[in-house]
Amino acid sequence: MLTSRMLLMESAFFPSSIIDMRVLLLLCTRYAFSKQNRHRGTSIRITIGLALCLFAIIAVLSFMQALQRDQFEDIRTFESFDVQVALATNDEDKAFQAALEIEGLESVDAAFIYADIPVITQAADGSTIAGRIRGLEAEGRLLSQLNSYRGELFVPGMLASSYSNSRTHGLKDEIKVTLLKKGRQATVIPSQRSMVIGSLYYTSSYDFDHSTFLCDVETLLSLNPDVPLKVGIFTSGDVLEVKRQIADLGYADVATYKEVNASLYGAMELEQKMMTLMLFLMVIVVLVHIRSSSRRLLLAKQREIAMLRSMGLTKQKVQALFILQSLLVTLIGCVLGLLVSYTAVAFYPMLSQLVYQSMGVHLILEIRTYEVVILVVSILVFSVLASLQGTHRILKADIMEMFAHDEVS
């Protein structure tokens, strides 16, 4: 504090000299966090409030993005795969040859045949499940994330039920399967067969597990020989480019996971827009907090501003001093908020089991650097503008008026 006053007196004796940045930084530090400053608590509260607001925005953004990534990852792995090709045949050999041809493309990681038929299953106790039977030759990501809980998967002539349905459709249970088949006189007719649960499986997708029974393609065709086969495709490249390459091979009915789940994808895009709107409102709250806090801090320091003016400091230097002070408080708040955010993300894996128990998903949180940079720069710029506007208004008042009153209306 004594050093600051000596520097101010020196600048008063030499009014033509310019206070360098080092002196301004020293002064703004003194007026922000010095122990001798009676408004130090206000600066600390502003810093903590800004840090908590920034942490809340980053945490919400990270969780929402992680939820969307997890949902789309499940869709691409279990439901519709990256790309799928509908074949105009129910011949397993022809479908297998088509899968081999498509898998020969350099951009394709794995290709396999599969088909779905909607069914209603009834257990011995009378409980029913409306779902589907999927017959497939599992490869790629699906095979690596398809876990066997009991028994061997894809045993010919048997079904694999999920662990989530094991209470009613357990291992070795015989169930009745009702499905629709082509009829001779009617377009479709109901058909019923008894089948045995030969194994139990589980995946990371509860919706898939709850509605899907698995078997090999041959078993599925024995239930409904007329079901058209499809080719599921996994790729690490651009799905649209893979679709174009497959279409060049002569396959007409090719669709990406976004096209297959167009309604869901549209709903998730709407969710993304609503999330963006919510975060925008949160940013507005932060900016309003910064403006009101900066104004409150400046009004609390009117008499100090008047003292600086009376010691010979020009309006421009006073304005620069308090803009730097506001910038310093905001910057420390942003750094503290980022530190808390990155620390929380780093320690999140230790708490992920609690999230899994409550939400049923394993989330991988990440912070997108470019979004954080845009957010922090916006906050800093607004802080400077708020301080500029506040000091400009206060400095319009007479020095004696600032000494006499607590606020400038």
CA distance 266 to 268: 5
Could you tell me what percent of the chain has a pLDDT over 90?
Answer: 26
Q: Is the pLDDT of residue 245 over 60?
A: yes
Which of the residue ranges 28-37, 117-126, 314-323, 341-350 would you say has the lowest mean pLDDT?
A: 28-37
Which band of pLDDT confidence, cut at 50, 70 and 90, is reported for residue 405?
A: low
Q: What angle do CA 35, 44, 371 make, to 5 degrees?
A: 140
Q: Which residues contact 379 (CB under 8 A, 6 or more apart)?
A: 50, 54, 286, 287, 290, 330, 334
pTM of the model: 0.67
CA distance 243 to 249: 10
Stretch 361-383: mean pLDDT, rounded? 81
pLDDT at 15: 43
Element (H, E) at 294: helix 262-300
pLDDT at 3: 47
- Summarize pLDDT for 28-87 with one digit per residue, the tens: 666 666 665 666 777 777 788 888 888 888 888 888 888 878 888 888 888 888 999 999
Q: Is the pLDDT of residue 262 over 70?
A: yes
Q: What mean pLDDT, rounded, does the chain reach?
A: 80
The three-class DSSP label of residue 22 is helix
pLDDT at 7: 46
pLDDT at 26: 66
pLDDT at 2: 44
Stretch 374-391: mean pLDDT, rounded? 82
Q: Is the pLDDT of residue 367 over 80?
A: yes
- Greatest Cα pair distance in the chain: 109
Which of the residue ranges 6-10, 235-239, 362-366 would you say has the lowest mean pLDDT?
A: 6-10
Which band of pLDDT confidence, cut at 50, 70 and 90, is reported for residue 14?
A: very low
Number of neighbouring beta carbons within 10 Å of residue 33: 16
**Nearest Cα to 116, choosing from 263, 243, 317, 260?**
260
Q: Where are the domains of the chain?
A: 2-73+266-404, 81-260
Q: Is the pLDDT of residue 13 over 60?
A: no
Stretch 277-288: mean pLDDT, rounded? 76
pLDDT at 37: 62
264, 84 contact by CB (below 8 A): no
Q: Which residues of 146-156 are buried (b: 16+ CB within 10 A; e: fewer)?
A: beeebbebbee
Do strands 188-202 and 174-182 pair parallel, antiparallel, or not at all (unpaired)? Answer: antiparallel
CA distance 205 to 190: 30
Q: Is the pLDDT of residue 186 over 70?
A: no
**Nearest Cα to 224, choosing from 193, 197, 196?**
193
CA distances from 73 to 68, 185, 267, 367 (A): 8, 43, 16, 18
The three-class DSSP label of residue 110 is strand
Which band of pLDDT confidence, cut at 50, 70 and 90, is reported for residue 232?
A: very high
Q: What angle do CA 184, 190, 196 make, to 5 degrees?
A: 125
pLDDT at 11: 46
Q: Which residue do the tokens 């600086």 mark? A: 308
CA distance 72 to 89: 29
CA distance 193 to 207: 25
Q: Is the pLDDT of residue 406 over 60?
A: no
